[in-house]
Chain A
C-alpha cells in the first residue's frame, strides 16, 4: 500500500505538496541498525528452531544413555557391594564411589573367577566370591590344616564366623579351594560315602590307632575341632596325643581292635599266647609270639612255644 499519486483535483493537494517539500530523511544509521536487527532475528530463528529441533534428540541421547548406563552399573554393583563384607566396614561414600568407578577393589577376586566363568550367568563372579560362599561350600572349599598351614586359622572354618567379616578373610584365595596341593584335604572332610562311614563311637577310637600327626589332620568327624580357637585346638591336640598313648596301651599296640586288648601288657600278651597254645592254635600262637618278641625282645618268661 504505497502512497497514492497526488491528484490535482484533490482539495488538499497543496498540503501534500507541503509534506513533500518538507520531507525528512531517515537517518542512515537507523536503516543499518534496523536491517541488521532483522537479519539477526532470522539468524536467531535458524539457530534456535531448526537446529534445536534436530539437535534435541541427539543432545538428549547421550544424557539418556549415560543415565541408563549409570543405573545399569549401580544395579550390577549393588548386590555385590551389599553382600560384600567390606561394604559393611566401609563408608557409604566409598560405596558410592565404587559404584561410579571401575570395580577395582574387587578386581582380584573377580578376575580370578572370570578365568573360570560359570556358564550362562553374568553374576558368576559375585556368586563365586569367597565371601559369598555358603557355609557348607566354604567348609568344603577350605583346605584343612596341614603341616604347612597349621592350625592358626582354624577358627575361621567355623561356618558362622566364615560368614562374618574378618580381618583375615580379605584374601579370598586363602578360602578358595586349592587345586592340587590341598587335594587330600577335602577327602578328610568328606572322605567316605554315607554307607561306608563308621559310627562316631568307633570313629572316636580311630585317632588312637593312628600316629599323632596323621590323626590330627584327618579326623572325619572332627569338624567340631574347627570351631575351637588355636589355643583350644592345641589343647585338643595334646589331649589327642595322650588319648592315643593310653589307647595304645589299652589296645595292646594300637591295632584298633578290642580283641587285641591283651597286648596291653607283656604278661597278658604271654597269657594269651599260652591260651592259644593250650587250645591247639599253634600257628596263631607262633604269630603272636613273634609279634610279642618284636615288641618285647628282652622280656624274660618261662613260656616256650611247643616244638613243631
Chain B
C-alpha cells in the first residue's frame, strides 16, 4: 500500500488481487444482496484509494481494509434502519464443547456446495456480531486476535461468538433439505 501511495500502480494491482475475493465474500455474506454487495465492495475500494495517503504502515493492511469495510457496512445498516451488528445474548456465557454439534461431514459439504443459498440462509440466522465474527474468521481468514482488534473487543468474546455461530451454522446447514 505504501508503494501504491508512492505512485506504483502495479503494487495496487497486486494488493487488490490478494484481498479482493475475501473482501467480497465478507461483504456479500454480510448484506445478503448481490447488488448491494457490489456497491459496497466498490465503495470500500474507492475509499481505500482515496485514503491511500493516510495509510500508516504500523497497522496491517488487512486490518485497515476490513476496518473500512466494516464501517461501510455499519453505515449501510444505519441507512437500512437496522440495528447494526447487534450483540448476541449469549456472549457472556461460557463456551463449552458440548454445545457444539458434530462437524459437517464431507458429503454434507459437497451437498451444500450445490446449494449456493444454503450458507447464506444459515448466516442470516446468526446475530450480527456472530455473523461478523464468522465472516471475518472464515471468509477473511483472520485470526481471533485480529478479529478482536478489529471489532474492538476481547479475544475470548470473539471465541465465544465464533463457537456459538459455528454451532448454529451446523444446525442450520444440516436442516437444509
The answer on a CB contact under 8 Å between B112 and A38 is no
Secondary structure at chain B's binding surface: helix, strand, loop or mixed? Answer: helix
Provide the residues of chain B in CB contact with A4, threshold 8 Å: 141, 143
Give A18-45 as 1s and 0s: 1 = Cβ < 8 Å from B's Cβ atoms.
1101111111001101110111011001
* B29 CB, min distance to chain A CBs, angstroms: 8
Say yes or no: is B16 at the interface (Cβ < 8 Å to chain A).
yes
The answer on a CB contact under 8 Å between B49 and A19 is no
Give B118-160 as 1s and 0s: 1 = Cβ < 8 Å from A's Cβ atoms.
1110000000000000100111111100100000000000000
The answer on a CB contact under 8 Å between A23 and B25 is yes
Say yes or no: is B50 at the interface (Cβ < 8 Å to chain A).
yes
Given that A24-B28, A37-B46 are known contacts, is A19 also in contact with B139, CB under 8 Å in the complex?
yes
Say yes or no: is B103 at the interface (Cβ < 8 Å to chain A).
yes
The answer on a CB contact under 8 Å between A26 and B20 is yes
Closest chain A residue to B44, Cβ basis: A34
Closest chain B residue to A46, Cβ basis: B7
Secondary structure at chain A's binding surface: helix, strand, loop or mixed? Answer: helix
Partner of B109 from A11, A14, A23, A27 at Cβ < 8 Å = A14
* B158 CB, min distance to chain A CBs, angstroms: 13
Give the A-binding residues of B (Cβ under 8 A): 4, 7, 9, 12-13, 16, 18, 20-22, 24-25, 28, 38, 41-42, 45-46, 49-50, 52, 60-63, 100, 103-106, 108-110, 112-113, 116, 118-120, 134, 137-143, 146, 162, 166, 169-170, 173
Known: A17-B104, A18-B169. 7 other contacts (CB 8 A): A1-B146, A12-B103, A18-B109, A22-B118, A25-B21, A38-B16, A41-B49
